[in-house]
Amino acid sequence: MTVPMEIGVPEEPLRPTPEMVLGPFYPAGHRIGLRADLVRPEKGRLKSPLQGQPLCLNGCLLDTSHAPVPGAQVEIWQADTFGRYRHPGDQHPAPLDTSFVGHGVQRTDVQGRFHFSTLKLGAYSLAPGVMRAPHIHFQVTAGHRRLVTQMFFDGEALNASDRLLKQVRFPERLVATVQAMKTGTCVALLATWDIVLMRV
């Protein structure tokens, strides 16, 4: 006996991406405007070769009904490969890559997609014996909807002990899938992570 297929069955609603704290190193000072490339500094600002592994970050902004959210502002900021932020408040003794922008802003396209070119960042210490796993901060603004969160990397050993990630109810929703890809002579990383906002 053939079981007829159900037609028009709605998809299960997506769960919203968990919120996280803004953090102490939200970009200060010089504003860069819409810029999705954190690897190539603005003209005249390259002081030394960039340090770290190239990272391509792709994703899609959706609402809980699976619909794309176009025209939203997606802002990211992150530490460099040494775990230092380009921020006057970060006084960690690690080196600072002065050629790395560390901050990007983009608007989603008609399909809700966003893309950033950046570098794989390092972990850093919050206090003796307390390490933060590598993560990228996100702030998403779509009309009156605003989400502040953080993205982590699949396979990072420090994810299991990151105390902020452990406080999230569904931490797996903040972890991007990561794979290596070869571009010419360079091996870059591709991170894929979708963000879900509450439906209006």
Query: What is the average per-residue pLDDT within 107-119?
Result: 96
**3-state secondary structure at position 153:** strand
Report the C-alpha dihedral over residues 84, 90, 96, 102, rounded to 10 degrees. 60
Annotated catalytic residues are 85, 124, 132, 135, 137
Query: What is the average per-residue pLDDT within 19-40?
Result: 81
Domain boundaries, the chain: 54-197
Q: What's the pTM?
A: 0.89
pLDDT tens-digit profile of 127-179? 888 899 999 999 999 999 999 999 999 999 999 999 999 999 999 999 999 99
Q: Which two tokens stand for residue 129?
A: 């014996």
Q: How far apart are CA 124 and CA 52, in angstroms?
A: 15
pLDDT tens-digit profile of 81-101? 999 998 989 988 899 888 888
Residue 62 predicted with pLDDT over 80: yes
Q: Give me the CATH topology for the region 54-197.
A: Protocatechuate 3,4-Dioxygenase, subunit A (2.60.130)
Q: How far apart are CA 121 and CA 83, in angstroms?
A: 6
